[in-house]
Amino acid sequence: MIELEGPLGKSDAVNSELISLETELSNLRKNGLIDPFGLFLYGLVLKEKELQALCTTIKTLNSLNLNNHWMKDFFLGSAYQELRMHNESLAKYENLQGTFSFSNYIQAQIAKAQYSLREFEQVEVIFEELLRNDPYRVEDMDMYSNVLYAKECFSALSYLAHRVFLTDKYRPESCCIIGNYYSLKGQHEKSVMYFRRALKLNKNYLSAWTLMGHEYVEMKNTPAAVDAYRRAVDINPCDYRAWYGLGQAYEMMVMPFYALHYFRKSVFLQPNDSRLWIAMAQCYETEQLHMLEEAIKCYRRAANCNDREAIALHQLAKLHSELGRLEEAAFYYKKDLERMEVEEREGPNMVEALLFLATYCKSQKRFEEAEVYCTRLLDYTGPEKEKAKSLLRGMRIAQSGFPLMDVEHFLP
């Protein structure tokens, strides 16, 4: 194993002794002649020959003839996760939790499935409970740090980093958590240093390669970012985050055709993530591509995938407006406005939506509706207020039935 590790980077060498080792250790075990260290080695050999690694498609998985047993459910839960069937995996582990109600392992697997489904609130609750039950736990805590990072929970991430450092600072997960902590502080060089430490401890630690790529993107070091992301996809070609990172890196280098290729790969692997569809749509919108119809399709998919940042609806409205499809633009502006009202968000997007809807309703002679939008615009300061006043004056004249006359006609 040490010979296979080598320096940072991947090794294509294959252990050709696995079959003979398995035969020898299996015979020793059957005859009761194996010692504890022999059992440990036997476990390593079986892990290398794991059945799950061969199940690369759902068809292969379904073709397996396995006896009904709770261990089968553990296997299927893990296999579903690898095949990105996160809802199915979640269902398996939740079912197992009924039998093994105090299993920290099952709780962690449920958190993993929910993390993949981007249900961060539930993930945070599970990890908090895991830490209460097992205060010295380091395993899977790097995922918890990713959630805290995404939610910008600085104090909680600082506490977690301090905790794992005191527990075991030489675990790759600990280095990754500390790397996330420094990244959130904006200390990207220090962050990279800890991700590199994680990789020295485990060169196939996927998370560290991907997160290090993100740091290099922040540092505007695109060649290093591309290299880190490529190492990640070499380890696991199904890691959508690494493909997405490659897309971002090539976008930074103003190479939209390459970026689009990598965004497509990421969205194929994770079709329910709105951020990936938005990234692809923005790529289609670039000057070099300018494929607005394709961008619209991507934004529609994003809007249907729980777009938390509320980018898709606004962009759909703008694109339809640019293309002269005013009815569709009004539909999306109205939906975006309703969402902003529910989330109690103010800002330029709300002003833009109100102004467009006021103008559109006036052109459709829906004066009452237009007046509502104009009245709301009067609460703002700036050119939009004057525009709203002008629209209201125009509507009142139109409703009174008098034509708008030039005041010069009344001069003597």
Percent helix / strand / coil, the chain, rounded to 5? 75, 0, 25
- Residue with token string 């080792």: 21
- DSSP H helices in 141-239: 141-150, 154-168, 172-184, 188-201, 206-218, 222-235
- Tell me, what's the pLDDT at 54? 76
What's the N-to-C CA distance of the chain in angstroms?
Answer: 103
- Tell me, what's the pLDDT at 404? 43
> What are the average pLDDT values for consecutive 10-residue runs of the chain, which has 412 residues?
51 75 92 91 83 82 90 93 92 94 94 91 94 93 94 94 94 95 95 95 93 95 95 92 95 93 94 92 92 94 86 93 93 92 87 90 88 88 85 80 44 41
- Tell me, what's the pLDDT at 408? 40
DSSP state of 380: S
How far is 147 from 132, CA to CA, in rounded Å? 18
Q: Structure pTM?
A: 0.80
